[in-house]
Structure 1
Amino acid sequence: MDEQKKKKRRRRWILCLAAALLLSGYLYWQDNDLMQTVYTCESPDIPEAFDGYRIVQISDLHNKWWGKDQKRMMEAIQAAKPDIIVLTGDMMDGNRPKVEPAARFCEQAVKLAPVYYVPGNHEMLAEYSYRRELFDRMHACGVIFMIDRNVELTQNGASITLSGLESIQKADYFALKQISDAETDFVVLLEHNPADAEAFLQSDADLTLTGHTHGGQFRFPLIGGLYAPDQGILPEYDGGAFYGNGHMLIVNRGAGNSGFPFRVGNRPEIVTVTLRHVEGGA
């Protein structure tokens, strides 16, 4: 009888160990398998010269390394054939600031396409010395900062506007006025936090690119994300594409993790948006 009890106990330990190994493998895969998410934004306000224009969005890197010199990330971005690359904040993690991962990312990314950047809350959370060093290196390699400013992108004589906001929550009136002051028919807005999604969807921006939510960290079928900062439990704008009033809002699930080290049902992502000119009214 004692021998049988020992065998049962041994089998239980083996099963527990196997389950732990399977769980560890699953969590590692969820955190480190980079997925490409592709969207199409169609509008008659997109000039014909911009038909097929590709915007690659990276958000919430949070110090993560994707191979030496961010090689895996660069290969994925290059495969997407971007016309521009946009960074929507939290490239650094303010709770454990490190300059090198984000700086090396930027130094490699500018070799692939022009890079535009809006900061996230974690860059602002980091100690000044870390933030200053990162921003200096980003400036030095040619990253274009989009802090409360508009830039016109031109192609074959036609233009669209890229608008960047540090945070729409700090002054809604002035933020929305900046967007409405754009001198082109089509406006792409970069902002880190989608918590004010309704303001984005009612603004003069046609396409808004945000991050911040980490996809809700844990994602479940039919439920979506479990929790997002500034939105709480079961957030409405957790990840993916949302539409309203002729506008498109994309919430990037991010390329790294912050305080919580694991993802479930929610692999890191690169977002690619292809612009398409369509005929007809809005």
Structure 2
Amino acid sequence: MLRWVIFVIVYIILGFYSLQAIKTASRYPGVYYSFIVIMLLVVGNFIYQFTFGESDGRVLSRPKSYAFGFLLALLSFQLITVLFLFSEDIFRFLSGSYQKIFGVDREFSFPERRRFLSLVALGIAALPFGSLLYGMYRGKYNFKVLKYTLEFDDLPDAFDGYTISQISDVHSGSFDNEEKVSYAIDLVNKQKSDVLFFTGDLVNNKAEEMEPWKVLFSKLEAPDGKFSILGNHDYGDYVDWDTEEEKAANLEELKKIQKEIGFDLILNDSRYLQRKEDKIALIGVENWGRGGFKKSGDLKKASEKIDKNDFKILLSHDPSHWEDVVIHDEYHYHLTLSGHTHGMQFGIEIPGWIKWSPIKWRYKYWAGIYKELGQFINVNRGFGFLGYPGRVGIWPEITVITLKKKPLA
């Protein structure tokens, strides 16, 4: 109860500054009162969803996600206006104090707010506010196909020009638009890659979330197969289960659904991709993550059936596994495919100029292609979304990688 009281007090203080900016900038009382109504509706819905809203053991249901998203957008607006107006208040206080000490009438009074500064504050605050609303309305389904060509000295000849499609972090429990998801499935198939890899997090929490989407995802096509692994959300660790047996049954149901979709789920094991007389080793590990995430991935066990000299592709959900374990292993894993970070679903990317997201402060390798010690990793930005029900600047991704034999010097 105390945390809600503190939250409401902070929210009111932030809202007070936003209202001051609106009152100073606009001559229409309707704008002022409309903002008050919006503030009350957003915070009221948020408190309701997280106290009396639906509760089936899930961390974030769809209504809770949207309540969080609208609150986040409004808070971004409020914080920007506070930054400007609080700074102005410090100036007004110092100016009033100076007049009291050195002025003629020696009375303390605040100078009036400057309308221009309020207009600037509102204009700048509208940018993140509008972006977050856009991310919820359109950005979350703004699918992008990102294509890379990677060269290797020891790529088997028959695999020169071999194409891979990768998707990751579906989070089917968050989907709310069948038409958009269907478009994305068609977009994956249009790439006509030789093989398809899915690198974990099919659901948010429960296997049942995937039921409405099974038929759609079963339409994914790749001539050499569709292979998958588990992500941290697939184990049901974020649900308050009544019994361990119920949790275990949920995981088994998820594995069954993956099979129904047509995925070959690799659990600390390996497969071979064959072309003529050549082959590539495909290794899949269960989730292994740094910082409190499940560490079920066993690289040694997964690689028992392959040869050290094989050309290797590793599927591992969390890129921290690559950083902490994979690149230092005695086996040389030529290419690792990961996901997990979502690029935080928020950032700025201008190819060739800038790639930034707050997630970079937690993950060194958070989106795109990286190379260390002669080994590559691609960190997919994710197919779906979780928590904030949108994406801003970091769009949902379908990766296409072409493997090439490096020409002789």
TM-score (norm 2): 0.58
Q: Report percent identity of matched pairs.
A: 28
CA drift of 1:90 comes to 0.3
Distance 1:185 1:99, change over 3 A: same
For 1:40 and 1:224, how far apart are their aligned partners in 2? 22
Q: Does 1:261 align with 2:389?
A: yes
Q: Which residue of 2 aligns with 1:244?
A: 372
**Runs of at least 5 residues in structure 1 that lack an aligned partner in the other structure:** none
Q: Does 1:52 align with 2:161?
A: yes
CA drift of 1:266 comes to 0.6
Q: Which residue of 1 aligns with 2:141?
A: 32
User: Which of 304, 317, 324 is residue 192 of structure 1 equivalent to?
Assistant: 317
SS of the equivalent of 2:198 reads strand
CA drift of 1:149 comes to 0.8
Distance 1:180 1:22, change over 3 A: closer
Assess if the C-alpha contact under 8 Å between 2:215 and 2:261 holds in 1.
no
- The letter of the residue matching 1:24 is L
**Runs of at least 5 residues in structure 2 that lack an aligned partner in the other structure:** 1-24, 36-118, 238-246, 290-294
For 1:256 and 1:238, how far apart are their aligned partners in 2? 16
For 1:202 and 1:181, how far apart are their aligned partners in 2? 20
Query: What does the per-residue CA deviation read over 1:205-247, in whole Å, with 9 as the maximum and x for residues that have no partner?
Result: 100000000112321365622137xxxx453121111101111
Assess if the C-alpha contact under 8 Å between 1:92 and 1:122 holds in 2.
yes
For 2:395 and 2:180, how far apart are their aligned partners in 1? 21
SS of the equivalent of 2:219 reads helix
Distance 1:113 1:104, change over 3 A: farther
Query: What does the per-residue CA deviation read over 1:121-180, in whole Å, with 9 as the maximum and x for residues that have no partner?
Result: 1110264444333321322453211111111100122101110000345378x5146448
User: Which of 186, 210, 221 is residue 99 of structure 1 equivalent to?
Assistant: 210
What is the aligned length? 270
- The letter of the residue matching 1:205 is Y
SS of the equivalent of 1:227 reads helix
SS of the equivalent of 2:209 reads coil
Q: Which residue of 2 aligns with 1:136?
A: 256
- The letter of the residue matching 1:191 is S
CA drift of 1:82 comes to 1.2
Distance 1:96 1:133, change over 3 A: closer
TM-score (norm 1): 0.82
Assess if the C-alpha contact under 8 Å between 1:87 and 1:116 holds in 2.
yes
Q: Does 1:88 align with 2:214?
A: no
- The letter of the residue matching 1:267 is W
User: Which of 258, 270, 279 is residue 398 of structure 2 equivalent to?
Assistant: 270
Between Structure 1 and Structure 2, the one with more helix by share is 2
CA drift of 1:181 comes to 5.7
- The letter of the residue matching 1:145 is L
Q: Which residue of 2 aligns with 1:155?
A: 275
For 1:31 and 1:22, how far apart are their aligned partners in 2? 12
SS of the equivalent of 1:98 reads helix
Q: Does 1:78 align with 2:189?
A: yes
SS of the equivalent of 2:138 reads helix
- Larger mean Cα displacement after TM superposition, 27-36 or 181-190: 181-190
Distance 1:235 1:138, change over 3 A: closer
For 1:8 and 1:244, how far apart are their aligned partners in 2? 59
SS of the equivalent of 1:153 reads strand
Q: Which residue of 1 aligns with 2:76?
A: none
Assess if the C-alpha contact under 8 Å between 2:168 and 2:380 holds in 1.
yes
Q: Which residue of 1 aligns with 2:358?
A: 226
Query: What does the per-residue CA deviation read over 1:223-280, in whole Å, with 9 as the maximum and x for residues that have no partner?
Result: 622137xxxx453121111101111011111011122223221111111111111234
- The letter of the residue matching 1:29 is R
Assess if the C-alpha contact under 8 Å between 2:135 and 2:390 holds in 1.
no
**Cα RMSD, aligned residues only:** 3.2
Between Structure 1 and Structure 2, the one with more strand by share is 1
SS of the equivalent of 2:150 reads strand
Q: Which has the higher contact order (CA 8 A, sep 6+)?
A: 1
Assess if the C-alpha contact under 8 Å between 2:141 and 2:181 holds in 1.
no
For 1:102 and 1:193, how far apart are their aligned partners in 2? 24
Distance 1:58 1:101, change over 3 A: farther
Distance 1:145 1:71, change over 3 A: same
